[in-house]
Structure formats: structure tokens, C-alpha cells
Structure 1
Amino acid sequence: MMPRTIATVVLLLAPLPAAAQPANCANAVSQADMTACAAAGRSNADLRLNQSYARLRKGLSAGGQERLKASQRAWIAFRDLECQFRSNGADGGSAAPMVAATCAADLSRARTADLDRLGKCAEGDLSCPR
């Protein structure tokens, strides 16, 4: 009985990695594929943003870390609201998730560049966080 259960679970889960992978994004035609590609782009941008945030945070004082955390939380709220605004033309349509994910990825990449720049400030630059 146990081997049959394991085999069933393996067979049911086997298609999941393939289903989770978006189609060739350069040639995506269907809305489902374009949405999957946009979601993957957002996930990648979020991952890079989190890495940049962690790198910057390591070099800050305790006070700087608290300010960065507050700033990042406010920025995330801004990003989410901004993307709701930017994607309102697609509300209710099948493209809405793609438009929102693309917006979030674009804004996250810009924020990542800002955090990376702040992490490379020259010593003595008073406009840089410490």
C-alpha cells in the first residue's frame, strides 16, 4: 500500500516544475505565458532587491538600519499602490496581473539600483546613509 501511495504522489507532483516554469518569454504569445513571464520577472526583481537591501543593511549603524527598514516598508507600500494606479486601465481584464507584475518589476529594479548606489558611497559623503 505504501509504495503505491508514494508512486501516486510522485506522479502527481512530477508536472509541477514544468508547470511552474514560464514558456520561452521571448516568444510568449498567450496571455497565460506572458503573465507567467511577468510574474517570473517580478520574482527575479524582488530577489535582487532583497539582496541589495541586505548588503546595504550590513554596512549601516543600528539607527541607519532602522531608518532603512522604515524607508523600505514605505517604499513597498508606494510600489504596490503605484502599480495599482498604473495598471487600472487593465482592471478586470486578463492582462491585469501581467501589467501589475511588470510595473512591480520595473520599480523594484529602479529601487535596487538606488540601494546599490547608496551602498557604494565614498567615505565622507554626507548625503549617504551610515
Structure 2
Amino acid sequence: MDNAQSQGAMNECASNSYGAADKELNQVYQQVLRKYAKDTVFVAKLKAAQKAWLTFRDAELAARFPDSDITNYGSVYPMCVNNELEAMTRKRTEELRAWLKGTEEGDVCAGSYSPNS
């Protein structure tokens, strides 16, 4: 649908793109949870961070589109919302992926990131 020419098709394309980004985020999140499953303190903190991120994501979206009557944004609203959700989701996925990639041995500021194997 990269060549969508109607607003409905563009809305659908944006929704599908966000859905794919959300699926990838959830896969990476589950991989991180599995990798660090034995570190229960980290897992609890990560779950709290993810919950806070979801709250932030929703609040950020509400700040971008504060009018409670979404019809005021017109037919592009679903596309715009999904594009923004996709961008935020892809950024968060990369943040989570850092726990899978690890860091250089001896990086004293790495925190909970595992060293590269």
C-alpha cells in the first residue's frame, strides 16, 4: 500500500505500519524479559519503565491532538495518529533493543546492559 492514493487507503497503510511496529516492540520486549529473566529486580524495573512509557506515549499523543472531538482534525486524523504512534514505538523498540545488543566490557556507565559476549 505504499502507493495509496485515497485518504482511506493512506489511513489503512499507516495503521498497518503502526501495527507492524507495535508487534516488533512487543517481540523485542519479550526477548529482553527472557534474556534477563533471572534478574528479578531488573525485570520488575523494566516492567515499570514500560508501563510508564505507555502512559507517556498516550499523554504525548493527547498533547499533539488535544481536541476531544476528533472529527475536528478531519479525515487525516487516523493517518496522523498512527504515524506518530509508529515513530514513538520504533524509537522505544531501539531503546529496548540496547539490552539485547549489550555494551562493551568495562563500560562503567552501562548500568544493567549486559556486556557483549
When normalised by structure 2's length, the TM-score is: 0.79
Q: Please identify which structure carries the higher helix content.
A: 1
User: Are residue 120 (structure 1) and residue 101 (structure 2) matched?
Assistant: yes
Unmatched runs of 5 consecutive residues or more in structure 1: 1-23
Aligned length: 106
Give the drift of 1:88: 4.5
Number of the residue aligned with 1:84: 62
CA RMSD of aligned residues (A): 2.0
The answer to whether residue 85 in structure 2 is matched with residue 104 in structure 1 is yes
After superposition, what is the alpha-carbon deviation per residue over 1:77-130, rounded to whole angstroms, capped at 9, x for unaligned?
1112212222448x4221111111110110100111111112222355453326
Q: Percent identity?
A: 34
Q: Which residue of 1 aligns with 2:31?
A: 55
Separation in structure 1 between the aligned mates of residue 51 and residue 106 of structure 2, nearest angstrom? 27
Q: Which letter maps to 1:127?
A: A
Equivalent pair of 1:121/1:128 in contact (CA under 8 Å): no
SS of the residue 2:110 aligns to: coil
Give the structure with higher Rg (CA): 1
Q: TM-score, normalised by structure 1?
A: 0.72
* 1:51–1:77 CA distance, 2 compared to 1 (3 A): same
Distance in 2 between the 1:128 and 1:121 partners? 10
Is residue 21 of structure 2 the alignment partner of residue 45 of structure 1? yes
CA distance in 2, matches of 1:34, 1:107: 19
Q: Could you tell me how far apart the structure 2 residues matched to 1:35 and 1:46 are? A: 16
User: More relative contact order in 1 or in 2 (CA 8 Å, sep 6+)?
Assistant: 2
Report the CA distance between 1:29 and its aligned residue.
1.5
Is there any run of 5+ residues in structure 2 with no aligned partner, and where?
Answer: none
